[in-house]
C-alpha cells in the first residue's frame, strides 16, 4: 500500500495532544452521563435496569408467539458488496472494522477481536460481500453463518442483542433473504423467521432504549423492515414510523444537515432513509411526507460535503469513502442536483470560485449525546483545486487503535491551536467534556469574492482568548486570503501570552518546499499548477504530517505551520495562498529529496 506506515506515531507527526485520552475514568463517564439531556439519560437508565428482565426465562417466553412460516414481502438490498472480501470469507478469513481474523474462534466472540470487529460481525453487513461472490457456495455459507448465530445467540445478551446492532442485523437478513433464505429447506426458513420475529418483538418493546442519532435510525430501520415483511405485524411498522416521525425533525436540521455534523454519518443516515422509502414503496405502502422531505433536504448537503474528486471532506470522523457509493446514494435520492453552498444550522460553508473549492467547519460541535464522533476542529477548512485536494484535515482511521483518537485533536485540523491544546476537551468514548459555547459565521458575497467571518470561544476559559478567522476566496479562483486573530473578549481584559500555531495540512500528493529564504512556501499539484503561501505576523515553517483520509491507508504528508506567541491584546496573522505561474523560482530546491522525511 503506497505510503503505508503504521510505525508513525502521533508525537512525531505533531497531531497528538495531551487532552486526547486513551481511556476514561469513572468520574469522566459520570460527567458525560450528567451532560446528557434528561429524557435520554432516563431512557438509558431504564434500559439498563431491564437487563435482569431480559436474561430471565420470562422474557424469552414472552417473545414466543405463533410461528411465522413465510414473508409477505422480501426487500432488496441494492448496495454493492466487495467480491474479494467475500471470497476471503469463504476461505475462513474475515476482514471487518480494519481487522483481519483467520478462522475466528469462538465464532461470535473471537480471541483477539476488537470490539468494533465483533459489532460488525453481529450486524451481518458482510452478507453483501458473500452475495457479490454469488454461487451456491456463497449462498450456503451465508445460510450456515446465520443459522449458527441463531443457535448460539437465541438468548438475550448485552452485546449481540444491543438494539442498534439488532436493527442492523434484521435489515441485513431481510434485505438478503432472497439470496440465502428463500432457497433454504422449510425447517431452516422456519427457524430464521422465528428469530427475526423474536428480535423484532424485542425492538418493539425496548426502543428507543436511550439511543440517539444514527444508532437509533439503524434500530428503527430494522423494526420497520420486520413490520413490512412479516405477516400481521402492522403494529411494528406503525411503531417504527412513529419513532421516525418523532426523530427526523430533530436529527435532520432545517438546512438538511444531520445533527451529528459528520459527513460520513450524514451519508449513512441518508442511505438508510432511501432504503426505508424504497421498502415502503415496494411493499405497497404510502411513504410519509417527512421521510421524503428529509431525503430531499439531505441530498444537497451531501453534495456540499463533496470535493472535486467526488469524495467526502474530512470533518468529524469522516473518510473520503468510495465515490461510486456516494454517486449511488445521490442517484437513488433523486434530489436536487446542485450542492448547498451555506448550511447555517449544520455549521458548514462551501465556496466555489474558478477551480477553487473551499469547505469550512463554521459551526458549534453537536450537543451532548450526539457528539461521540465530534472532533475539536472548529473553524478548520479544506481546499481543492479541480479534482485535486490541496489543504485537508488529517482524517481518521476509525478502526486503527493508534490512529483512532489522536486525529480528533485540534492540531490534526487546518485551523489554529493555542498552547498546543484542543479547542474542545476530548474523551474517547464519552464525547466532548468541554466545547466552544459560541461559534459565529457571517458570509459575505460581493464583486465575485466570497468571505467568511468566523469565531469561536473554545479557548476562552483556558487562555481568555477568542479565535477569529476571516477567509476570502478571490474572484476567478485566483487564490484565498485570510486573517487569524486572537483577542480577549473585552478591551479591558489582558490575556496571558501563549504559543499559537496555525496549521494547513497538505494532501500527500502535494509537493511543498520553502522558497524565498523561507519567507514563502511553494505548493505543487500534479495537475493544478503551483500555489504560494506567505504570511505576516508569524513564523512560517514546513513540517511532517499524516493523511488518514482513505480507510486502511496511512500516508505521510506535510503541513504548513504559522507559529508565534500571542500578545496581551490582539494578535493578528495575515496569510494568503495565491496561484503562481509554472516558471521555476531561482531558489526553489530540488524536489527529489522532498519526501525524505
Query: 434 has which bridge partners?
Result: 425
SS (HEC) of 1-52: CCCCCCCCCCHHHCCCCCCCCCCCCHHHHHHHHHHCCHHHHHHHHHHHHCHH
388 phi, psi to nearest 5 deg: -110, 130
Read off the pLDDT band of 26 (50, 70, 90): low
171's CB contacts (< 8 A; 6+ apart) are: 75, 218, 221, 222, 225, 275
Q: Which residues, other chains included, contact 197 with Cβ-Cβ below 8 Å and sequence gap of 6+? A: 63, 65, 68, 226, 230, 233
Distance (Å, whole) CA 482 – CA 106: 56
Of 60-69, 100-109, 484-493, give the lowest mean pLDDT range.
60-69
In this prediction, residue 597 has a pLDDT band, given cuts at 50, 70 and 90, of: very low
Residue spans of beta strands (DSSP E) within 42-98: 93-96
Asked if residue 414 has pLDDT above 50, the reply is: yes
Share of the chain above pLDDT 70, in %: 90
pLDDT tens-digit series, residues 213-225: 999 999 999 999 9
> What's the whole-number mean pLDDT along residues 10-16?
39
Ranges 96-100, 207-211, 341-345: which has the least confidence: 96-100
Q: Residue 594 pLDDT more than 60?
A: no
pLDDT at residue 312 is higher than 90: yes
Residue 64, pLDDT score: 63
From residue 241, alpha-carbon distances to 55, 200, 249, 251 in Å are 28, 14, 13, 15
Taking CA atoms, 494 is separated from 460, 464, 570, 571, in Å, by 12, 8, 9, 12
Hey, which bits of 30-176 come out as E strands? 93-96, 99-102
Q: Distance between CA 375 and CA 364 in Å, rounded? A: 11
Distance CA 534, CA 486 (A): 19
Q: Which CATH number fits domain 361-585: 2.60.40.10, 1.10.1740.10, 2.70.98.70, 3.40.50.300?
A: 2.70.98.70
* Confidence at residue 589, expressed as pLDDT on a 0 to 100 scale: 40
Q: Assess whether pLDDT exceeds 70 at residue 4.
A: no
Share of residues in the chain with pLDDT > 90 (%): 73
The answer to whether 382 and 359 are in contact (CB under 8 A) is yes
Report pLDDT for 31.
Answer: 66
Reported as a single tens digit per residue, the pLDDT across 38-91 is 888 888 888 888 877 887 777 777 666 666 778 999 999 999 999 999 999 999
Q: Map out the domains of the chain as residue ranges.
A: 39-215, 361-585
Range in 162-166, 318-322, 582-586 with the lowest mean pLDDT: 582-586
**Distance (Å, rounded) from C-alpha 467 to C-alpha 476?**
29
With residue 290 as reference, give the H or E element that holds it. helix 289-304
Exposed e or buried b per residue across 35-53, where buried means at least 16 C-beta atoms within 10 angstroms of its C-beta = bbeeebbebbeebeeeeee
CA distances from 410 to 87, 186, 349, 426 (A): 40, 57, 19, 10
Question: Residue 354's pLDDT band (boundaries 50, 70, 90)?
Answer: very high
Residue written as cell 462551501? 350
Residues in CB range of 136: below 8 A, 6 or more apart: none
pLDDT tens by residue, 375-388: 999 999 999 999 99
CB half-sphere exposure, 459, CA atoms < 13 A: 29
Q: Evaluate if residue 24 carries a pLDDT over 70.
A: no
Task: Calculate the CA dihedral of residues 50, 52, 57, 58 and round it to 10 degrees.
Answer: -40
Taking the C-alpha atoms of residue 292 and residue 256, their distance in angstroms, rounded to an integer, is 12
Q: What is the pTM of this model?
A: 0.91
Most confident residue range from 6-15, 16-25, 426-435, 469-478: 469-478
Report the largest interatomic distance among the alpha carbons of the chain, rounded to a whole angstrom: 84
Distance CA 104, CA 531 (A): 50
Contact residues for 215 (Cβ-Cβ < 8 A; gap 6+):
163, 164
Q: Which residue has 442519532 as its cell numbers? A: 213
Q: Given pLDDT bands bounded at 50, 70 and 90, which one contains residue 542?
A: very high
Reported as a single tens digit per residue, the pLDDT across 117-128 is: 999 999 999 999
What is the structure's pLDDT at 478? 93
* The C-alpha cell that represents 100 in the structure block: 483481519
Q: Is 158 helix (H, G, I), strand (E, B) or coil?
A: coil
Amino acid at each position: 500500500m503506497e505510503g503505508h506506515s503504521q510505525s508513525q506515531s502521533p508525537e512525531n507527526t505533531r497531531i497528538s495532544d495531551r487532552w486526547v485520552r486513551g481511556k476514561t475514568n469513572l468520574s469522566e463517564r459520570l460527567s458525560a452521563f450528567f451532560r446528557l439531556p434528561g429524557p435520554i439519560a432516563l431512557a438509558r437508565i431504564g434500559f439498563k435496569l431491564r437487563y435482569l428482565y431480559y436474561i430471565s426465562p420470562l422474557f424469552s417466553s414472552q417473545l414466543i408467539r405463533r410461528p411465522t412460516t413465510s414473508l409477505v414481502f422480501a426487500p432488496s438490498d441494492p448496495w454493492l458488496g466487495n467480491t474479494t472480501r467475500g471470497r476471503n470469507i469463504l476461505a475462513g478469513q474475515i476482514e471487518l472494522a480494519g481487522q483481519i481474523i483467520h478462522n475466528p474462534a469462538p465464532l461470535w466472540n473471537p480471541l483477539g477481536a476488537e470490539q468494533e470487529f465483533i459489532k460488525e460481525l453481529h450486524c451481518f453487513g458482510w452478507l453483501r460481500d458473500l452475495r457479490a461472490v454469488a454461487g451456491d457456495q456463497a449462498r450456503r455459507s451465508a445460510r450456515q453463518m446465520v443459522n449458527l448465530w441463531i443457535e448460539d445467540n437465541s438468548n438475550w445478551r448485552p452485546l449481540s442483542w444491543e438494539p442498534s446492532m439488532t436493527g442492523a442485523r434484521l435489515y441485513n437478513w431481510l434485505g438478503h433473504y432472497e439470496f440465502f433464505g428463500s432457497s433454504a429447506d422449510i425447517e431452516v426458513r422456519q427457524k430464521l423467521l422465528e428469530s427475526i420475529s423474536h428480535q423484532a418483538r424485542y425492538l418493539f418493546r425496548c426502543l428507543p432504549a436511550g439511543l440517539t442519532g444514527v444508532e437509533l435510525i439503524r434500530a428503527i430501520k430494522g423494526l420497520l423492515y420486520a413490520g413490512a415483511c412479516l405477516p400481521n405485524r402492522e403494529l411494528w411498522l406503525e411503531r417504527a414510523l412513529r419513532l421516525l416521525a418523532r426523530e427526523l425533525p430533530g436529527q435532520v436540521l432545517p438546512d438538511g444537515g444531520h445533527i451529528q455534523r459528520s459527513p460520513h454519518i450524514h451519508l449513512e443516515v441518508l442511505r438508510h432513509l432511501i432504503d426505508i422509502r424504497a421498502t415502503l414503496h415496494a411493499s405497497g405502502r404510502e411513504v410519509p411526507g417527512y421521510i421524503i422531505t428529509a431525503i430531499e433536504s439531505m441530498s444537497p448537503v451531501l453534495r456540499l460535503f463533496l470535493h472535486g474528486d467526488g469524495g467526502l471532506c474530512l470533518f468529524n470522523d469522516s473518510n473520503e469513502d468510495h465515490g461510486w457509493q456516494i454517486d449511488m446514494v445521490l442517484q437513488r435520492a433523486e434530489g436536487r442536483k446542485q450542492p448547498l453552498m451555506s448550511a447555517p444550522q449544520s455549521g458548514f460553508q462551501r465556496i466555489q470560485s474558478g477551480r477553487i473549492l473551499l469547505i469550512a467547519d463554521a459551526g458549534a460541535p453537536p450537543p451532548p449525546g450526539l457528539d461521540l464522533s465530534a472532533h475539536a476542529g472548529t473553524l478548520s477548512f479544506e481546499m481543492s483545486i479541480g479534482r485535486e485536494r490541496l489543504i485537508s484535515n488529517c482524517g481518521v482511521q476509525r478502526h486503527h487503535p493508534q490512529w483512532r483518537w489522536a486525529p480528533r485533536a485540534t492540531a490534526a485540523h487546518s485551523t489554529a491551536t493555542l498552547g498546543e491544546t484542543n479547542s474542545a476537551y476530548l474523551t474517547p468514548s464519552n464525547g466532548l467534556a468541554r466545547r466552544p459555547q459560541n461559534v459565529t459565521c457571517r458570509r459575505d458575497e460581493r464583486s465575485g469574492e466570497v468571505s467568511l467571518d468566523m469565531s469561536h470561544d473554545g479557548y476562552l476559559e483556558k487562555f481568555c482568548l477568542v479565535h477569529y478567522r476571516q477567509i476570502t476566496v478571490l474572484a476567478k479562483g485566483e487564490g484565498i486570503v485570510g486573517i487569524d486573530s486572537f483577542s480577549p473578549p473585552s478591551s479591558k481584559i489582558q490575556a496571558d501570552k501563549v504559543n499559537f500555531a496555525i496549521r494547513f495540512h497538505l494532501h500527500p500528493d502535494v509537493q511543498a518546499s520553502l522558497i524565498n529564504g523561507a519567507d514563502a512556501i511553494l505548493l505543487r499539484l500534479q495537475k493544478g499548477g503551483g500555489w504560494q503561501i506567505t504570511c505576516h505576523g508569524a513564523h512560517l515553517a514546513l513540517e511532517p504530517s499524516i493523511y488518514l483520509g482513505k480507510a486502511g491507508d496511512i500516508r505521510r504528508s506535510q503541513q504548513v505551520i504559522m507559529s508565534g506567541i500571542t500578545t496581551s491584546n490582539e494578535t493578528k496573522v495575515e496569510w494568503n495562498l495565491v496561484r503562481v505561474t509554472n516558471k521555476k523560482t531561482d531558489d526553489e530546491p530540488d524536489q527529489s529529496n522532498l519526501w525524505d522525511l
